[in-house]
Amino acid sequence: MARYTSPLAVSAFTLMLLASVSCRKQVPAADMVIRRARIYTMDKDHPWGEAVAVKDGRILWVGSEKEADRYIQPKTEVVDAMGRMLLPGFIDSHLHVRLGSDPDVLRFAGGMTLRNLDGIKKQIREFARSRPDLKWIEGEGWLYSPDGTLPKARDLEGLTGGRPAFLVAYDYHTVWMNKEALHELGITRGTDHVAFAERIETDPATQEPTGILTGFGSTGLSGEAEADLRRHIPSHSPERLYRRVKTNIELAVRYGITTVVDPQSFLEDLEIYSKLRDGGALPARLQVAMFFRRGAPDNLLEEYDTARRKFADDRLRVSAIKLYIDDVIEAHTAAMLQPYSDRPDLSGQTDWPPDEFNDIVAKIDRMKFQIFIHSIGDRGIRTSLDALEHAREVNGVRDSRHQLVHIECLSPQDIPRFKKLAVVACMQPRHCAPDITEQWAAAVGPGRSKYAWAFRSLRDSGATLAFASDWNVAEMDPLIGIYTALTRRGLDGRPKGGWIPDQTIDLDTALRAYTINGAYANFVDQNRGSVTPEKYGDLIMLSGNLFEMTPEQIKSAHVVATWVGGKQVYRAKP
């Protein structure tokens, strides 16, 4: 028997079909579609995808492979990921764009420790002979001796052909110079201060300078100090700085870093950054924190506020103020609650008296600036948390997202305070690798090392972790940072079980610390940090799926392509 279909039903069906076709036609064509990918979105509501469409620099859609055709028109660029992993671009929350990447500066090879002083001398001598054109012999990357001793000017005699030597330790906090450099900088027995360092080390018997400056790059580097260095040290010239910044940003996108947060800039640097941006030589997004030291001019914060209004876009933004509360453990200049294990006569000092620090932190917070505080020793960390708590008490609670940076030796009593005070833990996983922490461990001792770089304890407490490289203190590559956070092992794979394995974390936590948490930590989670519609098309493609790799394989993985705002800024050679 024939089925009767009413004309009304046919009409309704036709209208529904036409409406469906019309809706499909209304889907905008994408500028780019990446398909056949394994997209780990960092969006908890939609954690995985297979394809993504980008239009006008922003993510238009994320979904399944079968739906991707809807967004492809003749002018759409189609990228076949061939099953590779796609992530939101990495955010490095603490990368010194001004440092490293200078071919006229010797980079000590092989993680050269002072234990191998002959090896260091050989590298200096060979570099000096190969570069007769240099007026100064500059170097970077030497490691502290495991017994805590520091080198002296006399160790450099006869190595540089009579030229001054200016050699910065791997952490950028200690400088080693020869007698020629001391002479050029005017440092003699009677000199008690230089603008660019906290302390001139002297021989206790003779009171002569030893050739070592401590507190360099932290308490020492103000705008005045930078000007002084630029008069003397060739690598601090504006031309060399421009070249380094350009090279470092190009290197960053090779490693999949689409947002760089420089933690310590000066007013004169901003014009260099602006010149790079305006000339199209800033492929990654750059946010900067302006350095403020104790004793800085009263009007400097007002100048920083003016700079914040001038540099305020998503390509170049002044976003924070950088403070130091202490220095570093290896040189026994970080502030500790108890004396150092290898120097029971020392416990370090805070850079500011606590009451004065409370006042400056509250003042900066009142100006609605975000604050980054370099905090390494357990007393330094506690003093910083106390100051941030004080700021909340006097100014009221707001969404400040202040950061403590480094957090190397943490008292367990202070762990819950990060969540309570909504303070971000900005940490550098590679710093805890045992192939560079021998002197650190000796100085701190085994009792306090349980909470060395306490990634897991902080995560479990509810604190927000934001990861970074601290380039050029450590390698820029986030995949090396992820490997270290997962294993607590050195690049040589040792020790087998990792150093303090109780503080390892899982892959998801590490990835979030380099993406969505980094975006949140720097007030940009509204437009980056996850593969989510309407956010910027800041994307990276990896050589493989990290979730299918061992940690050793992650360390050896690499970025295949990087996009910033939907524009490809890096592609690996086939």
Asked if residue 39 has pLDDT above 50, the reply is yes
Radius of gyration of the chain (CA): 26
User: Model confidence over 271-316: pLDDT tens digits?
Assistant: 999 999 999 999 999 999 999 999 888 899 999 999 999 999 999 9
Whole-angstrom distance, CA of residue 432 vs CA of residue 220: 25
Residue with tokens 């036709």: 14
The token duo for 383 is: 């003093």
CA angle in degrees (0–180, nearest 5) for 523-468-236: 100
The token duo for 514 is: 């380099």
Predicted pLDDT at 218: 62
Predicted pLDDT at 9: 44
Q: What fold, for 235-568? A: TIM Barrel (3.20.20)
The arithmetic mean of pLDDT across residues 466-484, rounded, is 96
Per domain, the residue ranges of the chain are 106-171+174-214, 235-568
Tell which CATH classification among 3.40.50.300, 3.40.50.720, 3.10.310.70, 3.90.1300.10 matches the domain 106-171+174-214.
3.10.310.70
User: Model confidence over 121-145: pLDDT tens digits?
Assistant: 999 999 999 999 999 999 998 888 7
Q: Quick one: how far is CA 530 from the chain centroid?
A: 19
Of 385, 377, 472, 479, whose CA–CA distance to 424 is shortest? 385
The arithmetic mean of pLDDT across residues 310-333, rounded, is 95
Instruction: Measure CA of the first residue to CA of the last residue in the chain; give whole Å.
Output: 66
Whole-angstrom distance, CA of residue 496 vs CA of residue 547: 21
According to the per-residue pLDDT averaged within each range, which of 187-191, 391-395, 492-496 is highest?
A: 391-395
Confidence of residue 13 (pLDDT cuts 50, 70, 90): very low
Confidence of residue 112 (pLDDT cuts 50, 70, 90): low
Beta-carbon count within 10 A of 24 CB:
9
Contact 176, 187 (CB under 8 A): no
Q: Give phi and psi for 316, each to the nearest 5.
A: -150, 115
Q: Give phi and psi for 309, each to the nearest 5.
A: -75, -30
| Size (the chain), residues | 574
User: Model confidence over 52-64: pLDDT tens digits?
Assistant: 999 999 999 999 9
Beta bridge partner(s), residue 33: 53, 78
Confidence of residue 114 (pLDDT cuts 50, 70, 90): low
